[in-house]
Amino acid sequence: MKFMMIVKAGAESESGVLPSEQELAEMGAYNEELVRSGVLLDGDGLQPSSSGARVQFSGKGQSTVVDGPFTETKELIAGYWIIDVKSRDEAIAWARRAPFRGGEVEVRKVHEAEDFGENFTPELREAEERLRERIAEQHKQ
């Protein structure tokens, strides 16, 4: 099962305060542990919302771009990991080991094909698989 561990932003990450050398070393050791265990699929930190934008959609198919920064820091994301583990409990156990002294890590299951039931027809599944294969090929180059 794939899970996303979402690192919530805080005042420091939103103001652009970079991690100390010790914090970077601790994060590196944690990431190394995720890799050694074979569960890490992807992960990265995100720059403050001041460098981002939101695209908002109306019910009429129109879109509006809103430039950051965004004021609700409790709703913002500072980084993430995507892990592949056997259960929600295992994902939570990994999140609890993250080297943070404050803050919050949210754990969310990533949808898989079987989660969509019969609406995800064999034809749609095949198209999705072909798309994922193309993506993998592009990243090999």
C-alpha to C-alpha distance for 45 and 114, rounded to whole angstroms: 30
pLDDT at 72: 79
pLDDT in tens, 42-57: 999 999 999 999 999 9
pLDDT at 132: 92
Q: Let me know: does 8 contact 106? Beta carbons within 8 Å.
A: yes
pLDDT in tens, 128-137: 999 999 999 9
Query: How confident is the prediction for the chain on average, in pLDDT?
Result: 94
Q: Centre a 10 Å sphere on the Cβ of residue 57 and count the other Cβ atoms it contains.
A: 9
pLDDT at 60: 86
Per-residue CA distances from 51 to 26, 36, 70 (Å): 26, 33, 10
C-alpha to C-alpha distance for 72 and 121, rounded to whole angstroms: 39
Is the peptide bond prior to 69 cis by the omega test (within 30 degrees of 0)? yes
pLDDT at 6: 97
pLDDT in tens, 83-113: 999 999 999 999 999 999 888 999 999 999 8
Q: Let me know: does 82 contact 3? Beta carbons within 8 Å.
A: yes
C-alpha to C-alpha distance for 108 and 113, rounded to whole angstroms: 16
Max CA-CA distance within the chain? Answer: 50
For residue 122, give every residue at least 6 positions away whose Cβ sits within 8 Å of its Cβ, in sequence order, or none: none
